[in-house]
Amino acid sequence: MPKLITIETFSDNRGNLSVLEKNIPFDIKRVFYIYGVDDSVRGNHRHHKTIQAVICIAGSCTISNDDNMSKQDFVLDQPNKCLFLYPEDYHSMHHFSKDAILLVLASEYFDPKDYIYEAYK
């Protein structure tokens, strides 16, 4: 089941500083980001092992999730929102704003065998 958290943020007249520290439930093995997305849908998979922390650090996008018990949509529209996606979470990413940058921190190195492309029935 996905989990949405608010990242601790410190703000003053110089700007904002958001910190992810001690609240990521895995060692980070891979970092990637998605940007310049047209009206395409990204993702459409789940994993055997990988846990992901997903942050839209600029712009906005929607993550649709199905964990085989419930379906939910999450709008990521602030850089202090972090969505944790677990292996059972079949997710798709869509409705990217033109300026969207979606940062993903992953618990596993890339392995094509870790991906499951079939949705729950």
How many residues are recorded in the chain?
121
First to last CA, the chain: 17
Q: In the annotation, is 47 catalytic?
A: no
Per-residue pLDDT, 10: 97
Give the span between the Cα atoms of 117 and 43, in whole angstroms: 9
Give pLDDT tens digits for 98-119.
999 999 999 999 999 999 999 9
Q: Sheet holding 71-76: strands in order across? A: 71-76, 61-66, 90-94, 42-47, 115-116
Hey, CA dihedral for 35, 18, 30, 68, is it positive or negative?
negative
Per-residue pLDDT, 11: 97
Give pLDDT tens digits for 46-72.
999 999 999 999 999 999 999 999 999
Hey, CA dihedral for 32, 113, 111, 19, is it positive or negative?
positive
User: Strand pairing partners for 18?
Assistant: 9
Q: What are the phi and psi torsion angles at 115 (to 5°)?
A: -90, 140
List the one residue out of 28, 78, 32, 73 whose CA is nearest residue 58.
Answer: 78
Residue 29 in 3-state DSSP?
A: coil
